Amino acid sequence: MKEKVVLAYSGGLDTTAIIPWLKENFDYDVICCCIDCGQGSELDGLEERAKLSGASKLYIENIIDEFCDDYIVPCVQAGAVYENKYLLGTSMARPGIAKKLVEIARKEGAVAICHGATGKGNDQIRFELGIKALAPDIKIIAPWRMTDVWTMQSREDEIDYCKAHGIDLPFDAASSYSRDRNLWHISHEGLELEDPSLEPNYEHVLVLSVPPQKAPDKEEYVTMTFEKGVPKSLNGKDMKVSEIITELNALGGKHGIGIIDIVENRVVGMKSRGVYETPGGTILMEAHQQLEELVLDRATYEVKKDMGNKLAQIVYEGKWFTPLREAVQAFIESTQEYVTGEVKFKLYKGNIIKAGTSSPYSLYSESLASFTTGELYDHHDADGFITLFGLPLKVRAMKMMEVEKNKK
């Protein structure tokens, strides 16, 4: 009986060409595994394509709700944003995919897991760190790094290889953007985006959204509720998180929300330029932040921002299955105990505009914030506070004046 390998299969040209390559070079029984994180119609026709290419079996594993509840929600609660812009759409999905690949490999008794990530990108790190953390005994095969055996360097090469192995597939060699899509976002790289001096061709790039200038001329109001930092309802209707994100994607896309153009620093050391569409995710992040502004005290909010940046780095670098991620997430979760309430906002041409936030745990006191003197705040108390708060500055200034005087 042949040894088995589980291939992370997307149905694209790269992973389709890998199927006969694995059989030819390793004599493996190839089991394809496609992890559904919300790719939509991209999954159509996968089973026929995988079997036609020589796979013995195809798993299509739906982890959309797990993706939302176990990976997206913690990052939303943390406000995890990489390099001030990237909402981690691809990064957040990878640990869930790695976990499912390991589960299928265990179920099938496979000796190896194969992925089609290139040797220049972040995904190879994310997949492999996840697999190593969960199944250190399983071999990892990364064809694009095995240049002595994997000799294909272009789409034309891959198409020719498939045809030589009797696989005639509906792929062509025409250039296109390199995209990654799931429920949270879609990323775009390649073509004119490889030159940071060029403006993105948004007419061809965008999939989920319209450019803000083409969004409706009338704003649209949206109301959301949260319980302990978890989104619970949208416009008065209770929904699970995946349903809320789906609806927000439609609303955000309609109004041109969440389109970013970023040059980011990859883990492997190079910079890369991409356009990301995260319409629903951008709205959800902003709504959660608006509620936290009311509920969290200053000191906690300050430290939480640091922890959010730390979690963003952890997720981006593929270190989900680590004690550090667990510790950071535990801190974040402790801050969410009272992040409960309602957030209202309006969407208009790429903007999310506040329209009122309320919470039973709000720390905002109208009597304190107003100019009217209340029982809890005596303006005279500010004299002593400023004296003590500014004492280090005053002492230093006095010392510098003394030093300058002695010089003369």
> What CATH number should be reported for the domain holding residue 291?
3.90.1260.10
Judgement on whether residues 353 and 378 belong to the same structural domain of the protein: no
Q: Is 123 a catalytic residue?
A: yes
Judgement on whether residues 38 and 110 belong to the same structural domain of the protein: yes
CATH label of the domain that carries residue 34 = 3.40.50.620
Judgement on whether residues 21 and 136 belong to the same structural domain of the protein: yes
Cα(148)–Cα(393) distance, rounded to whole angstroms?
65
Judgement on whether residues 150 and 55 belong to the same structural domain of the protein: yes
Instruction: pLDDT band for 176, please (50, 70, 90 cuts).
Output: confident
Q: Answer whether residue 407 is part of any domain.
A: no
User: By the 8 A CB rule, do 50 and 22 touch?
Assistant: no
How many structural domains is the chain composed of?
Answer: 3
Given 136, 164, 192, the domain boundary residue is 164
Q: pLDDT (tens digit, 9 = 90+) per residue, 242-275?
A: 999 999 999 999 999 999 999 999 999 999 999 9
Structure-derived torsion over alpha carbons of residues 365, 368, 373, 377, reported in degrees to the nearest 10: 130
What's residue 41's pLDDT? 86
Q: pLDDT (tens digit, 9 = 90+) per residue, 303-326?
A: 999 999 999 999 999 999 999 999
Judgement on whether residues 193 and 132 belong to the same structural domain of the protein: no
Judgement on whether residues 198 and 278 belong to the same structural domain of the protein: yes
User: By the 8 A CB rule, do 171 and 13 touch?
Assistant: yes
Given 112, 133, 164, the domain boundary residue is 164
Can you tell me the mean pLDDT for 2-14? 95
**Phi then psi dihedrals of residue 195, to 5 deg:** -110, 105
Judgement on whether residues 140 and 186 belong to the same structural domain of the protein: no
Q: Answer whether residue 363 is part of any domain.
A: no
Can you tell me the mean pLDDT for 270-295? 98
Q: Answer whether residue 331 is part of any domain.
A: no
User: By the 8 A CB rule, do 257 and 350 touch?
Assistant: yes
User: By the 8 A CB rule, do 85 and 79 touch?
Assistant: no
Which one of 123, 126, 273, 359 is the catalytic residue? 123
Which one of 29, 49, 53, 94 is the catalytic residue? 94
Q: Is 358 a catalytic residue?
A: no
Which one of 155, 160, 178, 325 is the catalytic residue? 178
What range defines the domain where residue 389 resides? 370-401
Q: Answer whether residue 120 is part of any domain.
A: yes
Secondary structure element (H or E) that encloses residue 344, with its range: strand 341-348
Handedness of CA 239, 242, 246, 251 (dihedral sign): positive
Judgement on whether residues 182 and 210 belong to the same structural domain of the protein: yes
Contacts of 42 (CB under 8 A, 6+ apart): 10, 11, 181
Q: Answer whether residue 145 is part of any domain.
A: yes
Q: Is the model's pTM score more than 0.75?
A: yes
Q: Residue 198 has what DSSP assignment?
A: S
Judgement on whether residues 12 and 158 belong to the same structural domain of the protein: yes
List Cβ<8 Å contacts ≥24 apart for 153-161.
Answer: 155/13, 158/13, 158/14, 158/16, 158/17, 159/13, 161/17, 161/20, 161/21
Bridge partner list, 62: 36
Rounded to a whole number, what is the distance in angstroms from the first to the last CA of the chain? 93
What's residue 376's pLDDT? 77
Judgement on whether residues 111 and 191 belong to the same structural domain of the protein: no
Q: pLDDT (tens digit, 9 = 90+) per residue, 160-173?
A: 999 999 888 777 76
Bridge partner list, 7: 32, 114
Token digits of residue 215: 């969004």
Judgement on whether residues 26 and 130 belong to the same structural domain of the protein: yes
Q: pLDDT (tens digit, 9 = 90+) per residue, 31-89?
A: 999 999 999 888 888 988 999 999 999 999 999 999 999 999 999 999 999 999 999 99
